[in-house]
Amino acid sequence: MKIHAGKVICNRRLEVIAVYAVAWTIRLHMYTRGAGQAALSLDWTHKAGD
- Give the model's pLDDT for residue 18: 94
Does this model's pTM top 0.75? no
For residue 23, the enclosing domain spans 1-50
Say whether pLDDT at 14 is over 80. yes
Within 13 Å of residue 5, how many CA atoms lie on the same side as its CB? 2
Q: How many domains does the chain have?
A: 1
